[in-house]
Amino acid sequence: MSWSKPPYKTVASPGRGILAMDESNATCGKRLASIGLENTEANRQAYRTLLVTAPELGKYISGAILFEETLYQSTVDGEKIVDVLVKQGIVPGIKVDKGLVPLPGSNNESWCQGLDGLASRAAAYYQQGARFAKWRTVVSIPNGPSALAVKEAAWGLARYAAVSQDNGLVPIVEPEILLDGEHGIDRTFEVAQKVWAEVFFYLAENNVLFEGILLKPSMVTPGAESKDKASPETVAKYTLSLLQRRIPPAVPGIMFLSGGQSEIEATLNLNAMNQAPNPWHVSFSYARALQNTCLKTWGGRPENVKAAQDALIQRAKSNSLAQLGKYTGDGESDEAKEGMFVKGYTY
């Protein structure tokens, strides 16, 4: 499987972003349960088939993050999911972390496991067709964050990035600053500056090539339980200020996570950030903010597959326009405006 240009350049191409569909089987089960379906491999396969076979998905989506099961899975018609993506011009990626566990000695915070055996797994994933990787760690503002938790998050991301690059995978670096909390936007900004300073310090310590990574940060917003709400223009101002202070222009792409924002909020905020040229490709890597309406429209019924795919394409197209700074919000459904914040969300 050969790409005409490096994977990070394909992923960070104008008007395109990432479809995050790497929910663990347990999280996928919660999504299926929300529409009354059992968490079986057949149902997970049916839903993932619906996503990757949406016509013209590759016009708006440049990369898809997969869970390990999906990387080795075929569609319901027997074609490898990786091959379906490649035909659409979408680079397959793989979630490589092993999830969050409690961090002893911290303020009820967590750390991300998965470095053991990562080199051999990364090599196997490359053989299977993956060309980029993802590692999600989280930082909680209500719990501190403690210096220990920030350092652990940054060090883990840097080690993972170095190992991934060593095995041919472009690492997506994702320290998610959780939306949980009543804090205002200035507190988020303060914590984000600290987290990103540590992340880039340790990336440099580990000799990670900045030109060969992608970032998946949180937008700078008030806490989800804050009384203050921020307009897209305010979110863009704070977030771009953070990026300008902390992210070297050598980094090719910033692929924002949605983190429980409504589908519309995530798109409006991204659009506001692209009203003037940026040193990096500023785009999206959304899971719920691309899939929510699609999943509800499908409801597990074969006759709804086309309508569900249309809903997915509508969201992908809206975010594609937002990446170009041309989104207007016309013709959006009420469902797309519903918030999706879940306290203490696990992936």
Phi-psi region of 117 (alpha: psi -120 to 50; beta: other; left: phi over 0): left
Gap between the Cα atoms of 157 and 109, Å rounded: 16
In this prediction, residue 3 carries a pLDDT of: 47
**Cis upstream peptide for 145 (omega within 30°):** yes
Per-residue pLDDT of the chain (347 residues; tens, 9 = 90+): 444 578 888 999 999 999 999 999 999 999 999 999 999 999 999 999 999 999 999 999 999 999 999 999 999 999 999 999 999 999 999 999 999 999 999 999 999 999 999 999 999 999 999 999 999 999 999 998 999 999 999 999 999 999 999 999 999 999 999 989 999 999 999 999 999 999 999 999 999 999 999 999 999 999 989 999 999 999 999 999 999 999 999 999 999 998 878 889 999 999 999 999 999 999 999 998 899 999 999 999 999 999 999 999 999 999 999 999 999 987 665 555 555 445 555 54
In this prediction, residue 333 carries a pLDDT of: 56
In this prediction, residue 47 carries a pLDDT of: 97
H-state helical runs in the chain: 7-11, 25-33, 41-52, 68-71, 81-87, 118-127, 147-166, 185-205, 232-246, 263-273, 288-298, 305-323
**Cβ-based neighbours of 5, under 8 Å, separated by 6 or more:** none
Is the CB of residue 68 less than 8 Å from the CB of residue 114? no
In this prediction, residue 341 carries a pLDDT of: 46
Report which of 150, 171, 156 is spatially closest to residue 115, judged by C-alpha positions.
156
Count the Cβ atoms, other than its own, within 10 Å of residue 343: 11
Residues forming the active site: 174, 216
In this prediction, residue 332 carries a pLDDT of: 64
